[in-house]
Structure 1
């Protein structure tokens, strides 16, 4: 079962640390924010979900020191990009094949970060328009399948520019109808 909790906001501590406030967040609360979670056991389940949700493309990414020729500074620089508060105009779908990482999701209702730890078998769908960020754990390794409804792309729209984006406005409208 996926771990989700409110982020402790101790930003002076390495973002790869757990940052658990002790306040747990359930799947029902994530669902109200438009976040979809499922534990996936095998490729057949991935294929079935892809068909069900109309995901046509996929690829696999590895994020680790090795994927940056063991250059930790290069890895940390890339992680800084992923950790910037941003949105996407499309869903962000990640299926963890190995390793682990954190997706921080900004709850627009209470304006707090929710940290979701994904491990092997966890599939997380982050809705278009929600502010989020990604970070490795101290394990410094994740292998993830990315699924896409159309052609593979990863275009981050950072705050504050994202505030005026149509995907952000649509997301906020969908959340207000859930509360």
Structure 2
């Protein structure tokens, strides 16, 4: 089962690829993750993760009609170190971010309703849906390898909006905050 926990603060020079658990560890269940962040999660246990009937059902229900596969690893992704630093910048998207892990592992960090970081370890068979407007970031773990299927509704939009006063004013951010705090 997927693991998630509140993160310890990162200091200058800390390796983003390490777990960064608090002491004592503050684990968070998937139900709590959904309640506190709006993130959705499914575990795909089929041998063929990408072609799983569960994945096909979720794609049909949520309108995900586009997919591709990305491998994030040295030698498989141009400018790997620069891209990992870019993925780790706190940002949001105007659309949902959907990732199905096919191989390897990594971390998605998401902000909860109190602006605290929650780290989610994703591994083979984990399907995560990050809502539009949520602040998040991604990094590989210390194995430096993850292969994931990216799903979208319609044509993919790759635009990340780094956290700033302008992102706070985006309609997608406003809708997300309203839904998270139950004021929608």
**Equivalent of 2:54, from 24, 29, 45?**
45
Aligned match of 1:143? 147
Report which stretch shifted further, 148-157 or 113-122. Answer: 148-157
CA distance in 1, matches of 2:171, 2:114: 21
Aligned match of 1:30? 33
Runs of 4+ aligned residues of structure 1 deviating over 3 Å after TM superposition are none
- TM-score, normalised on structure 1? 0.92
Counterparts of 1:87-166 in structure 2, within 5 Å, are 87-107=92-112, 109-160=113-164, 161-166=166-171
- TM-score, normalised on structure 2? 0.90
C-alpha displacement of 1:67: 1.2
Aligned match of 1:57? 66
| Offset from partner CA, 1:1-57 (integer Å, 9 cap, x none) | 111000111333200011111100111221112110000123122111101111111
* Partner SS for 1:20: coil
CA distance in 1, matches of 2:129, 2:143: 22
Structure having the higher strand fraction is 1
C-alpha displacement of 1:91: 0.4
Matched, 1:8 2:12: no
Q: Which structure 1 residue ranges, 5 or more long, are not aligned?
A: none
Count residues in correspondence.
173
CA distance in 2, matches of 1:11, 1:119: 26
C-alpha displacement of 1:153: 2.2
Aligned match of 2:20? 19
CA distance in 2, matches of 1:39, 1:52: 17
Q: Which structure 2 residue ranges, 5 or more long, are not aligned?
A: none
